């Protein structure tokens, strides 16, 4: 399968304005995410941005960016619009992997694992999860996933599910979609559970699309808040100090 990596990039984030353009080491956050993604086995990686400022930053550092204007409910919808545009422009892709723009430390090996699983299950959406201690499961900002046979997702929730468990699975927001899955999701209205939990994954389950979940050791640190950003700066400084 020929799979393209797509990084959805929105300039005006709610909790930390213009976070994707904040400097992280010698490049902006979104460029560092792009550089991690291109270290994977993906043939091509594209940033799908909502603002020319993001495209300018990506292109200035040698990356590829598409300006995707429109009213998108989430990053996946922006990725799907960019994917269709690539197809319309004559590029031959069998699917894409949605890589969050605010994860500058994402492991290329995780992207490769999604890529490999997509080849085995082209009818499924592929995502990832990691072992989550019970103390962290009560946090509604940490999405939990419950699995069934063959590691198919049964449900995603902000609540601590399954109730009474001694261990949980935390969800990681990386997604693989085949072209057939993209077609199946076209024009699907938001699902009731999706609206309640504010989780786009529940739309896919609601309409009967299989979601396969692969293992990951832990999530890569994402940048949602000012404190997250300062923590990322400390991580970069520590790495540069060790390499000096």
pLDDT at 240: 59
Q: Please give the pLDDT value at position 212.
A: 98
Mean pLDDT to the nearest integer, 49-59:
97
Give the contacts of 170 (CB within 8 A, at least 6 positions apart): 129, 130, 131, 132, 136, 137, 142, 143, 144, 145, 219
Contact predicate 86/5, CB 8 Å: no
Class of domain 1-106: alpha beta
Give the global pTM: 0.94
Omega before 152 cis (within 30°)? no
Q: Give me the mean pLDDT over the 86-91 stretch.
A: 97
Q: Using DSSP bridges, classify how beta strands 211-215 and 153-157 pair: parallel, antiparallel or unpaired.
A: unpaired
Residue-wise pLDDT tens digits, 210-243: 999 999 998 899 999 999 999 999 998 876 545 4
Q: Is 80 exceeded by the pLDDT of residue 117?
A: yes
Q: Return the domain boundaries, the chain.
A: 1-106, 122-219
The mean pLDDT value for 133-142 works out to: 94
Give the per-residue pLDDT at 17.
Answer: 86
Three-state DSSP class for residue 87: helix
Q: Which fold has domain 122-219?
A: Spore Coat Polysaccharide Biosynthesis Protein SpsA; Chain A (3.90.550)
Tell me which H or E stretch contains 22: none
Between 39 and 239, the more confident residue is 39
- Tell me if domain 1-106 and domain 122-219 are identical in fold: yes
pLDDT at 242: 52
C-alpha 4/C-alpha 48 separation (Å) is: 12
Are 172 and 129 within 8 A, CB to CB?
Answer: yes
Q: How far apart are CA 194 and CA 144, in angstroms?
A: 14
Q: Which residue has the higher pLDDT, 88 or 71?
A: 88
């Amino acid at each position: 399968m020929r799979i393209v990596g797509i990084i959805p990039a929105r300039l005006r984030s709610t909790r930390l304005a213009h976070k994707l353009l904040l400097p992280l080491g010698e490049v902006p956050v979104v460029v560092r995410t792009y550089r991690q993604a291109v270290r994977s086995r993906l043939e091509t990686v594209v940033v799908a941005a909502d603002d020319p400022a993001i495209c300018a930053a990506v292109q200035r550092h040698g990356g590829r960016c598409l300006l995707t204007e429109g009213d998108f409910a989430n990053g996946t919808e922006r990725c799907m619009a960019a994917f269709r545009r690539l197809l319309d422009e004559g590029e031959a892709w069998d699917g894409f992997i949605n890589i969050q723009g605010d994860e500058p430390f994402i492991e290329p090996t995780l992207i490769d694992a999604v890529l490999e699983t997509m080849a085995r299950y082209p009818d499924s959406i592929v995502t990832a999860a990691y072992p989550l201690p019970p103390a962290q499961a009560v946090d509604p900002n940490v999405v939990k996933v419950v699995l069934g046979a063959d590691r198919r997702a049964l449900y995603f929730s902000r609540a601590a599910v399954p109730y009474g468990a001694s261990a949980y699975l935390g969800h990681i927001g990386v997604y693989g979609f085949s072209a057939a899955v993209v077609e199946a999701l076209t024009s699907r209205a938001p699902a009731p559970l999706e609206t309640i939990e504010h989780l786009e994954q529940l739309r896919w389950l609601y309409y009967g699309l299989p979601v396969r979940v692969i293992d990951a050791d832990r999530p890569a640190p994402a940048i949602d808040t000012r404190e997250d950003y300062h923590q990322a700066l400390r991580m970069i400084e520590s790495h540069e100090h060790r390499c000096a």
